[in-house]
Structure 1
Amino acid sequence: MKFIQLKTPGDATQLFIDEGEVPVPKSNEVLLRVHAAGINRPDILQRQGLYPPPADASPILGLEVAGEIVACGDQVARWQVGDKVCALVNGGGYAEYALAPEAQCLPIPESFSFVEAATLPETFFTVWHNLFQRAQIMAGETLLIHGGTSGIGVCAIQLAVAFGVNVIATASSAEKCAAITALGAVAINYRTQDFVAVVKQLTAGQGANVILDMVGGDYIQRNFSAAAKEGRIVSIAFLNGSKVNIDLMPIMLKRLTLTGSTLRAQSAVAKAKIAQELEFRVWPFFAAKKIKPVIDSVFSFAQVVDAHRRMESNQHIGKIVLNLE
């Protein structure tokens, strides 16, 4: 099979197409003929040598795919050869064939293309776990999202709106703010507005009940100011750095909860639980057309360098996908 090889940790030019053996599924795995693979920020970090894969995972980049099952392990019960699924994989997504645990596969929503389906697993698993499992967000609450036009951001906005949450999201340009507004959220241009002041104004001085932060750096302290009493702040990335000097007093005075997580390091049992909840509680929104994929750009397998550069430009609105068809 063909796959994307990483010559050595570094910039996007270290990626190239190579050939290797098709993997063999374990007893609880399926083998997918990959038609499309999502590009995600952890892929960039892995390419840079900052996010090594677990010891038992494929060293090939790629955490989400959509495709057709071509082989099943002997303990696979739900899926059959020929089924079309999207899957959260533990690595190996940038390849013509990839392995996925049975429990991390989900049916492709009706009428979705493989490219559309490949945008779902990594972002929806991440958002569901952090907002709905960890932060326990509820209808009527106010959610502040930093990075509202990222793949995570557009997913979080749509999911939260679908569940009756009031959403505010930050972005860096008028174009991105317009995209946020179109998804049903209130947009803040962080280059021209102070998000703390705007959030306070929009919530009659109360602040946001939940904050989803991918920025870190000086945003950590500012999030304390923007949060409501009993607020929950969830950190899932640190684009501006994870090491900062902060005053923890607001956590005590406001009774705040500061938490965070990474998805890849979680157990198979935890990921299976997320998948079950997504299929039961979120997948119906696709059929009802209340949530839709937001795709920024699609690149061919041979254009993987350009795909990574597009993500690193931070100009994208929505998901970036590799199309293997």
Structure 2
Amino acid sequence: MSTHAAVVTIGPGLPLEIHQVKTPKAIGNQVKLRTEWTASTPLDLHQADGGLLVKSPQVLGDGFGGTVVEIGPEVSRLEVGDVVFGFGWRSQEEKAHQEYVVTNEYLLAKLPTGFSLQEAVTLPNNFVTAWHTLTKEAGLNLPWPKPENHKPQTRDQWILVWGGSSSVGQYILQVLKYYGYKNVVATASKAHHERLRTYGAKECFDYRNGDVSDEVQKFISLQSNGNGHISFIVDCIGSRTSSISPISKIAKPGTDVAIMLPVIVKDAAVGIKPELSMDVDEGVSWADGVERRGVRTHFYLDNQFLADKLQPEIMPSLLEKGVIKPNDQLIVEGDTLLERAEKALSKLRNKEVSGARLVWRIAAAQN
């Protein structure tokens, strides 16, 4: 069996390394692709600096784009030469930061005409997270295909997206707009407010304002003649101090709250290991009757319909139709794979990007 280069973490806070790992063959309904582009996520930092759910040495990354080079005998939709993108996480072979990825056909989408892989890799992990959160955690009905003149019964309920300019937040707003939800508000820095309004936010609030919780409640009360109630809050940040704590002041009995895991207790910094938790209640006081849950996107395959449709069909269809737009990209340059990986991790650690995704090349496309 041949080998290929992979970016691995060998221990919390230690420098990344390039290891030669085995290149498996595609079997059954598996597809092998040569990975060309990836987009870094906070999970990469949680695993590299915090050792979250890691058994070292572990290949990093979960969003990839590349060209199909081999298919298993049960593959029916994809062919060698197809340009694809997707989200995988279940095994070392599926991880993104390596020259070859081997995964199941249902975790891959064909790249629609008119889009680049650099754009496409900003979607899969966070689009899947957005859809999973809205359907499972919020219990919203997002029928696919969307019927003509679709009007959800709950379209007038108030929804708060905390961290609307995050990748997940942007996709949540766009999906809610497509399905007809009107009373959606979001928090983000002021630089992103105009864009988020085009994505469907009725109003935006600067999360850095000390009284942002009061501002949100006042706005909804005025819009609802004093009868406003937030039905669902999604926390796309998952920080105990900067998001969960102010959200706990807004959530009232009957509000459902979904929080992206892990909870960040202490941020990573140069020479400092982050503190992470999987408990959304620890260190926070909630009003009685507030339902709160941690979002675990990796379980979306438990829903057979989404396993079959979400990445192969729904994701590329909405991209092609312009319903969802790729996140802005900040291209991470570097002479070597290791240099690009380390630079991306450093930018995450130092919080050098806002409202965009760190995108970088794994391997050059082959002719």
Same fold (TM over 0.5): yes
CA distance in 1, matches of 2:96, 2:315: 23
Identity over aligned residues, as a percent?
Answer: 23
- Runs of 5+ unmatched residues, structure 2: 141-153, 266-275
2:234 alignment counterpart: 212
Is the aligned partner of 1:311 residue 2:348? yes
1:158 alignment counterpart: 174
Q: Give the 3-state SS of the residue equivalent to 1:106 in structure 2.
A: strand
TM-score by length of 2: 0.76
- Runs of 5+ unmatched residues, structure 1: none
One-letter amino acid of the counterpart of residue 110, structure 1: T
- What's the offset of the Cα at 1:125? 0.9
Q: Across the two proteins, how many residue pairs are aligned to each other?
A: 315
CA distance in 2, matches of 1:72, 1:62: 22
Rg (Cα) greater in structure: 2
Q: Give the 3-state SS of the residue equivalent to 1:260 in structure 2.
A: strand
- What's the offset of the Cα at 1:272? 6.7
Please point out which of 98, 109, 114 is paired with 1:111.
114
**Kindly tell me: are residues 8 and 281 of structure 1, through their superposed partners in 2, closer, same or farther at Cα, counting changes over 3 Å?**
closer
Is the aligned partner of 1:197 residue 2:200? no
Q: Give the 3-state SS of the residue equivalent to 2:38 in structure 1.
A: strand
One-letter amino acid of the counterpart of residue 131, structure 1: L
Whether the 8 Å contact between 1:130 and 1:260 is mirrored in structure 2 is: no
Q: Give the 3-state SS of the residue equivalent to 1:155 in structure 2.
A: helix
CA distance in 1, matches of 2:307, 2:220: 31
One-letter amino acid of the counterpart of residue 306, structure 1: K
Is the aligned partner of 1:75 residue 2:74? yes
- What's the offset of the Cα at 1:285? 2.9
Q: Give the 3-state SS of the residue equivalent to 1:230 in structure 2.
A: coil
1:31 alignment counterpart: 32
Please point out which of 247, 264, 273 is paired with 1:239.
264
Whether the 8 Å contact between 2:68 and 2:80 is mirrored in structure 1 is: yes
Whether the 8 Å contact between 1:148 and 1:169 is mirrored in structure 2 is: yes
Which range moved further: 112-121 or 266-275?
266-275
Whether the 8 Å contact between 1:103 and 1:272 is mirrored in structure 2 is: no
Whether the 8 Å contact between 2:108 and 2:312 is mirrored in structure 1 is: no
Is the aligned partner of 1:227 residue 2:251? yes
1:287 alignment counterpart: 320
Please point out which of 274, 291, 294 is paired with 1:257.
291
CA distance in 2, matches of 1:225, 1:183: 26
**Kindly tell me: are residues 180 and 61 of structure 1, through their superposed partners in 2, closer, same or farther at Cα, counting changes over 3 Å?**
same
2:147 alignment counterpart: none
**Kindly tell me: are residues 220 and 175 of structure 1, through their superposed partners in 2, closer, same or farther at Cα, counting changes over 3 Å?**
closer
One-letter amino acid of the counterpart of residue 308, structure 1: L
Pairwise mapping of residues 146-185 of structure 1 onto structure 2 (< 5 A)?
146-165=162-181, 166-171=183-188, 173-185=189-201
- What's the offset of the Cα at 1:268? 4.5
- What's the offset of the Cα at 1:224? 4.2
CA distance in 1, matches of 2:305, 2:7: 27
One-letter amino acid of the counterpart of residue 340, structure 2: Q
Deviations 1:280-302 (A, max 9, x none): 55543322223210123122443
CA distance in 1, matches of 2:297, 2:239: 18
Which range moved further: 45-54 or 107-116?
45-54
Deviations 1:81-130 (A, max 9, x none): 22222121124200111112221112223311111111111001111001
CA distance in 2, matches of 1:287, 1:103: 18
Is the aligned partner of 1:188 residue 2:226? no
One-letter amino acid of the counterpart of residue 296, structure 2: T
CA distance in 2, matches of 1:321, 1:272: 30
TM-score by length of 1: 0.85
